Amino acid sequence: MKIKNICCIGAGYVGGPTMAVIAHKCPDIKVTIVDLNKQRIADWNDENLDNLPVYEPGLADVVASARGRNLFFSTDVEKAIEEAEMIFISVNTPTKTYGLGKGQAADLKYIELCARQIAAVAKNDKIVVEKSTLPVRTAQAIKDILENTGNGVKFEILSNPEFLAEGTAVEDLMHPDRVLIGGDTDEDGQKAIQALVDVYANWIPKEKILTTNVWSSELSKLTANAFLAQRVSSINAMSELCEKTGADVTEVARAIGMDSRIGPKFLKASVGFGGSCFQKDILNLVYIAKSYGLTEVADYWEQVIIMNDHQKRRFASNIVKTLYNTVSGKKIAFLGWAFKKDTNDTRESAAIYVANDLLNEQAEIAVYDPKVEDDTIYADLNYLGSRSAEDNTKGVKTFTDPYEACNDAHAIAVLTEWDEFKDYDWQKIYENMKKPAFVFDGRNLLDGKKMNEIGFIYQEIGK
């Protein structure tokens, strides 16, 4: 079966870039991305490519190459489902904030809604592809809904987890390490797998396209993220020990990374990992393990989160301690709010938690981030719910000029590793700060020697 028409439900950080690249690479396939959020769709259709709702290096060019040719953004979910032979589900699956599994399980209400909508609309056989990260065995739930509420048409469910990292999404999609497709082991399942393999084969070498059963595919996604997050928590655990012993975590990371069995990636000590995936997926893994009674397995993975929470907290408490045990009324400038560079995404960003701790200590926070909008910063803090929206607005001011953000500050905290921070006129920033001028580099981004020479009291993670 040759796919000619694809629909993707959910025009977010995953659905948007993924479908844009498919459309770019497969001009013969019509790709329609739909979303309930009208503003999001309007932004994807905006003539001015600077206004796309997702910031990713290279994304605007890819969208420009295909939009209006074979790439369409629409709010007409039903029409797109009806026309498509293959439907990707890329809706969000946040951690549940209520009821059973609160704080750990994934909230599948958006997925279920999609499944019901597909079932109601489909008039011919469809291949449904899980793109969002989902707990193992979600495919079964989708299948149940489709088969029991549908119009008697046949559905094949595939799992095709996304491994792109934000900030490098386009590059990751163009040249992935591998593409994983899970499906039923019966003949129809294998045919559906082949249909999706053929789509990717338009630009990805066959040997990089891996096929498995559905459950392996679903669990591989959680496992990959758990392993990656574990590396970050492991090096962050060592960073605290380095600070006590006089070892330098960057040197330790370099020394162990040269062991080919360990490898050099994901060993950067930081203020803590963020993003929409790591915490959510591990919590999910923990929840699944617990639900099978596997307490040790659950505790083992939960420790990765505990370590990460500790790292964020100790970064904030170190600022307070270093500033003579009080930050009350002191201006602390935040450079960066996004959870990593080259994205405007702030979900689970360490900056949110550090800000929250410092606000509890009555600090005045000044935030500059090159890509994050003010509204997002306040929404992040309000979502935490530690204080009223009014108090968040009082305690946090946002700036479009980094130099202004740093004026009269007692300290600067580097929360995101944006490249531009390295090129600032640090001498000028120093002159306009309160003295002694502190810099807490949560990303080990700046040149420590230079910072000390200027006169800053400069602290890094794990040194």
Contact between 232 and ligand UDX per CB under 6 A: yes
What is the contact mask toward ligand ADP in residues 56 to 95, using x (rule: CB under 6 A)? Answer: ---------------------x------------xxx---
Report the distance separating Cα 113 and Cα 47, nearest Å: 31
Q: Is 277 a catalytic residue?
A: yes
Cα angle 176, 179, 184; round to 5: 175
Contacted by 158, from ligand ADP, ligand UDX, none: CB < 5 to 8 Å by type: none
Contacted by 289, from ligand UDX, ligand ADP, none: CB < 5 to 8 Å by type: none
Q: What does the block give as tokens for 166? A: 């934000």
Contact between 54 and ligand UDX per CB under 6 A: no
Tell me how many residues contact ligand ADP (CB under 6 A). 21
What is the contact mask toward ligand ADP in residues 272 to 311, using x (rule: CB under 6 A)? Answer: ----x-----------------------------------
Contact between 460 and ligand UDX per CB under 6 A: no
Q: What does the block give as tokens for 48? A: 């001015």
Q: What does the block give as tokens for 387? A: 């204080």
Q: Which of 32, 35, 115, 355 binds ligand ADP (CB under 6 A)?
A: 35
Q: Which of 163, 215, 399, 403 binds ligand UDX (CB under 6 A)?
A: 163
Give the ranges where 152-213 is alpha helix by DSSP (H): 169-174, 187-200
Report the distance separating Cα 377 and Cα 236, nearest Å: 25
The window from 71-79, 178-186, 275-283, 377-385 that contacts ligand UDX (CB under 6 A) reads: 275-283
Other beta carbons less than 10 A from residue 115's beta carbon: 25
What is the contact mask toward ligand ADP in residues 110 to 149, using x (rule: CB under 6 A)? Answer: x--xx-----------------x-----------------
Closest CA to 462 of 181, 287, 234: 234
Q: Which of 11, 351, 355, 429 binds ligand ADP (CB under 6 A)?
A: 11
Report the distance separating Cα 23 and Cα 15, nearest Å: 12
Task: Return the number of the residue (33 or 242) whose C-beta is nearest ligand ADP.
Answer: 33
Other beta carbons less than 10 A from residue 391's beta carbon: 13
Contacted by 110, from ligand ADP, ligand UDX, none: CB < 5 to 8 Å by type: ligand ADP
Report the distance separating Cα 44 and Cα 33, nearest Å: 10
In the complex, minimum distance from the CB of residue 60 to ligand ADP, in angstroms, rounded to a whole number? 17
DSSP letter at 49 equals G
Is there a cis peptide before residue 176, judged by omega within 30 degrees of 0?
no
Give the DSSP per-residue string, 243-302.
Answer: HHHT--HHHHHHHHHTSTTT-STT----S---SSSHHHHHHHHHHHHHHTT-HHHHHHHH
Catalytic residue positions, numbered: 277
**Contacting residues toward ligand UDX, per CB under 6 A:** 162-166, 225, 228, 232, 266-268, 270, 273-275, 277-278, 339-340
